[in-house]
Amino acid sequence: MASGPARRTGDPAAADDSEQPDCAGDEDPAGTAGGGDARRSGSADGTASGVDDPPHPAFAEYATESVPQAPVGAAGKDGRLDLAFARAGGETRLVRDFARVPFHVSGTLGHDPHPASETVYVQSPSGGVAQGDRHTVTVSVGANAVAHVSTGSATKVLSMERNYAAADLALSVAAGGHLDYVPAPTILHEGARLCQDVTVDLAPTASAVVGEVLVPGRLARGERFDFDRYRSTCEVRVDGEVRVADATHLDPGDADPAAPGVMGEFAVLGTLYVLAPDADAPSLSDRLHERVTAAAARDASETSERGEPAESDGASAESDAETVRAGATALPNATGVLVRALGHRADPVTHALRAAWDGARTDLLGVGAPADRRQ
């Protein structure tokens, strides 16, 4: 990712990549690009700026569309969340929690099985991500701190007629620290446009679990891949050096998401990056593969006990809403493990990823994943 998020995480070594066409161009606090001041204030066209300048080429056309009904929500369009955790003796403390609408942090939870862990659930009372939104999130975990950040409910990316939404997420973990960033699913409503860049900066002895469940619409009402465009990148750096660069790009109007090898018959995409440069990635990969495929098979067999078919593969499985196809593989440059899960509904995919997350925590921290406080 470009220099924006890297600078915010204070990692000069990570800021060396040039000309990255991400959602988040260079910070332009002076608003030197023409009209920058107006956009920054969110008043001229209702588009908060700072995250999208210049826009990714795939979103450039949307960027020319001004957002008409700005002023009411304008305060929430430039959303910002900064969380910092530090180790203090036997515990981890939330030492910074700056949140600007629509983000809200109501406090910490101590329910994690890890004795030193601190948990923050981020609330977003605004109802969803809207056109023109430019959100910036940074989470930094200090040396030996253990933090878990999640969201209180699913992130709804709302229908858009003009412009688009962009989000910049910069996560960093210092030596010996651990971060779990496993939010509730992201739901892309009809007409939604989201350009998102995630960067993870790790010290060689740090670890992180970063997850996402992507739901292509309000499936229960028959909305499916009706969004305009979703582009998300995840770049992982260790000591400032790019180790992993993943991208998800769905543009249903132009390229069929159901194409073979892409989503196939599935709708929901789950991804879990288990990042642990210190770990023995091939063996961790094998264990997580076993965990995630066992969880997927268990879901399917529970379904079959209810008298429904439970084939785990092939086109005949299309009718089985619980079917999940999942697997794990070692990430490039011995950075950790990728877990992917594809399914028809969000819950079984979340469940399968959770099994992998639990396995990863057990491996890395000696304790499993914390209970889900949303339920």
- Residue ranges that bind another protein, judged by CB under 8 A: 17, 19-22, 57, 231, 233, 242-250, 255, 259-264, 266, 269, 271, 282, 285-286, 289, 313-315, 325-333, 338, 340-342
Burial of residue 230 (number of CB atoms within 10 Å: 0-12, 13-18, 19+)? buried
In single-letter form, the type of residue at position 217 comes to: G
In single-letter form, the type of residue at position 37 comes to: D
CB of 237 to another protein, least distance (A): 10
Distance between CA 355 and CA 290 in Å, rounded?
10
In single-letter form, the type of residue at position 93 comes to: R
Cβ proximity to another protein: between 153 and 333 the closer is 333
Q: 3-class DSSP state for residue 165? A: strand
Cβ proximity to another protein: between 80 and 325 the closer is 325
CB of 325 to another protein, least distance (A): 5
Return the bridge partners of 337, or none: 274, 330
Helical segments of 163-317, H only: 281-305
Residue 261 CB partners (closer than 8 Å, separation 6+):
none
CB of 20 to another protein, least distance (A): 4
Return the bridge partners of 86, or none: 93
CB of 99 to another protein, least distance (A): 30
Distance between CA 242 and CA 11 in Å, rounded?
13
CB of 313 to another protein, least distance (A): 5
Cβ proximity to another protein: between 97 and 212 the closer is 212
Q: How many residues does the chain have?
A: 375
Q: Tokens 């003796």 identify what position? A: 89
**Cis-peptide, bond into residue 102, ω within 30° of zero:** yes
CB of 94 to another protein, least distance (A): 32
Cβ proximity to another protein: between 13 and 262 the closer is 262
Q: Tokens 């011995």 identify what position? A: 334
Cβ proximity to another protein: between 152 and 327 the closer is 327
Cβ proximity to another protein: between 24 and 130 the closer is 24
CB of 264 to another protein, least distance (A): 5
Cβ proximity to another protein: between 14 and 338 the closer is 338
